[in-house]
Amino acid sequence: MTDFKITIAGAALLLGSMTSMAKENPNFDYKVDRFADIEVLRYEVPGFNSLTLQQKEMLYYLSEAAQWGRDIIWDQNGKYNLQLRRILEKIYQKYDGDKNSADWKGFDKYMKQVWFGNGPHHHYSNDKFTPEFSRAFFEERLKGLCNKCVGAKDDKQRAEIVATITDYIFDPAFMPKKVSLDSSADVIANSSVNLYDGVTQQEVEDYFAAKKKPGDPTPVSYGLNSRLVKDADGTIHEQTYSLNGLYGDAIRHIIYWLDKAKGVAENDAQRAYITKLIDYYITGDLRLFDEYSILWAEDTDSDVDFVNGFIESYNDPLGMTGSWESYVNFRNRESTKRTKIISDNAQWFEDNAPIDPQYRKPHVKGISAKAINAVMLAGDAYPATAIGINLPNADWIRAQHGSKSVTIENITEAYAEASKGNGFREEFVIDAPTREMMDKYLYQTDMLHTDLHECLGHASGQLAPGTDPDALKENGSTLEEARADLFALYYLADPKLVELGILDNPEAYKAEYYQQMMNGLMTQLNRIEPGNDVEEAHMRNRQLIAAWTLDHAKKSKAVQLVKKGGKTYLKINDYKELRNLFGQLLKEIQRIKSTGDYAAGNALVQKYAVKVDPKLHNEVLKRFSTLDIPPYRGFVNPVYTPEYDKDGNITDVKISYTEGYPEQMMRLSRDYSALGKK
């Protein structure tokens, strides 16, 4: 699982009051670009220059492997995305007209949005972008492009491509949504992701139901690395992502660089799992992926680490196929002391969780937690990224072999630094004492919330024997995120954290409670267009928790929405009671997951997580409009340049932070295009 965390104003809420920040350069410039609802930042990589040459070399190779997967996520997100990108970039590159014209400005904005979405759909809302340039402008620019430039071999093919891409850009009814979770209709037919072709939701469910062996204690992650298609003759089969299968032209490069990384691995354990990963990429065999995942999860010694593969399934409406992503990173030793205390005490947290004892894990297996600094973000993790990751995802591996949980420290820090003084809390927090409490503790409790969510929350609990792990279907991601969040929220208020020396004030949790409730009830609505429902799983989870507790606090008045000067504010009267409610909801959601109670899960999601109060929504949007806080943020990566001696050996790897956003995108397209070039 990955977590995008902070909520509204993408982490705009973090304010830097934490003393242990690792900044190297006090004048580091975090801000790179701003357009539409997006702000692009850069992040510093503290400690990179002090790594050993072997570590830097390994990070460089892994970064190359990461960047070679870029085209895969574009194609997974939509079957016309690579064609679209090539045409837009050609126009972007060749344009020599008036750069102050409305058409050009609209085109420039659209280009940047499409880069950010790895396709023409919003990375978070899943809605297609609306172009703010005219069809005539686009058609005029197309005239200047050769057949090859639009990816066509002759005039006939050109006409087809141009017609499709023009519709893709300008027809709002054509592939309008990347992922649709509307369970009243066929979620496959209504999602434009390129993970299925020609099959209905029922056919997908039947296909995989036939493959699953009931009672299999170690099932592979069915559908994780394949596209399910129906042929002209009506047969349904999987196109596997592998060296000689789908995306082989990109996977070949990934394998090449992984192999280089293997040559400078830190130890045998690391070499062993890189070998497995390469074997899996060659064959597409999901058993090898599980073997790799186990070896990877069990390696807690290496400082250099990475994720590279088809991992998270949020972009699949049925939650099976993994989107390609890569994170390259190394351990942040100082901050890892905190996460180590938490993971060392994992069994205590499990034993005391407010859930039915039969759904607790009797023996929590090897939860390892660490804080890391990201070195390269790629695929579905770029430009928008998570700040916490907990992998592997397979339930049985987590239960039998444990999982690895990370908090990405330098990304969290970049969010916090870039948010200083943006006026958000002055506008939305009810009073000065609450603001002061948040200023003082939120950076700390946010980091801790991520630790607890990733390291303990996702890793906690167990399924009842025979429960299908996919039983919650389209609500699976939302309920799993709610479970992890509730686990974190419940324990943030536990005296155990003070006892363990992780928090110095037993009241600090209130900052996080206020933040989470305010966000779930109000401020995250800044990310929703007027009239729309809440769609994204993490957002649904946050609203589910906040709206459910508000509803169940009616009698006790522990939590209320109140009016002050015509504005709505969250008022928390009884934090202890709020904690009890979090515990109750955790118990119910754990029961739902453990027993695969789809009906109860769906009822919770439909009642609390989806619908928006239009009046409150408008008010929130209006209040935000006075602040100019970008709802979403993402990152450009640093650029790594190896230096060689005369024999071709790497002698150093230089890091630079100067590349701009369009420059980075155009460079990646130029140097790492692997697919769709026939």
> Which of 494, 252, 448, 203 has its CA nearest to residue 341?
448
The smaller minimum CB distance to Zn ion, of residues 302 and 405, is found at 405
Closest separation in Å from C-beta 584 to Zn ion: 21
Closest separation in Å from C-beta 176 to Zn ion: 27
Contact set with Zn ion (CB under 5 A):
1, 3, 481, 484
Q: Where are the beta strands (DSSP E) in 531-630?
A: 559-564, 567-572
The smaller minimum CB distance to Zn ion, of residues 303 and 480, is found at 480
Closest separation in Å from C-beta 485 to Zn ion: 7
Write the CB contacts of 69 (distance below 8 Å, at least 6 apart in sequence). Answer: 250, 254, 308, 324, 325, 326, 378, 379
> Which of 70, 316, 325, 314 has its CA nearest to residue 194?
316
The smaller minimum CB distance to Zn ion, of residues 388 and 631, is found at 388
Q: What values do phi and psi take at 369, rounded to 5?
A: -130, 140
The smaller minimum CB distance to Zn ion, of residues 83 and 519, is found at 519
What one-letter code names the amino acid at 559? V
The smaller minimum CB distance to Zn ion, of residues 9 and 387, is found at 387
The smaller minimum CB distance to Zn ion, of residues 82 and 609, is found at 609
CB hemisphere CA count around 434 (13 angstroms): 19
Write the CB contacts of 522 (distance below 8 Å, at least 6 apart in sequence). Answer: 428, 561, 568, 570, 616, 620
The smaller minimum CB distance to Zn ion, of residues 409 and 481, is found at 481
The smaller minimum CB distance to Zn ion, of residues 3 and 39, is found at 3
- Beta strand 367-379 with 403-408 is parallel
Write the CB contacts of 235 (distance below 8 Å, at least 6 apart in sequence). Answer: none
Closest separation in Å from C-beta 275 to Zn ion: 29
Closest separation in Å from C-beta 482 to Zn ion: 9
> Which of 404, 407, 490, 405 has its CA nearest to residue 446?
407
Question: What is the distance between the alpha carbons of residues 537 and 540, in angstroms, rounded to a whole number?
Answer: 5
Asked if 45 contacts 376 with a C-beta cutoff of 8 angstroms, the reply is no
Task: Order across the sheet with 632-636: list the strands.
Answer: 31-35, 38-42, 632-636
For residue 652, list its beta bridge partners: 643
Question: What is the distance between the alpha carbons of residues 429 and 424, in angstroms, rounded to a whole number?
Answer: 8
Closest separation in Å from C-beta 188 to Zn ion: 24
Closest separation in Å from C-beta 391 to Zn ion: 11
* H/E element, 237: strand 236-240
Closest separation in Å from C-beta 323 to Zn ion: 15
The smaller minimum CB distance to Zn ion, of residues 3 and 597, is found at 3
The smaller minimum CB distance to Zn ion, of residues 258 and 346, is found at 346
Asked if 519 contacts 7 with a C-beta cutoff of 8 angstroms, the reply is yes
- What is the number of the residue whose Cβ is closest to Zn ion? 1
Question: What is the distance between the alpha carbons of residues 197 and 312, in angstroms, rounded to a whole number?
Answer: 20
Closest separation in Å from C-beta 458 to Zn ion: 6
Q: 16-27 in b/e burial notation, b at 16+ Cβ within 10 A?
A: bebeebbeeeee
In angstroms, what CA-CA distances link 619 with 81, 430, 610, 614?
A: 36, 15, 18, 9
Closest separation in Å from C-beta 310 to Zn ion: 18
Name the residue with tokens 């100067």.
658
The smaller minimum CB distance to Zn ion, of residues 459 and 484, is found at 484
Closest separation in Å from C-beta 559 to Zn ion: 23
Helices (H), 299-431: 333-344, 346-351, 395-401, 409-419, 424-428
The smaller minimum CB distance to Zn ion, of residues 1 and 204, is found at 1
Closest separation in Å from C-beta 22 to Zn ion: 24
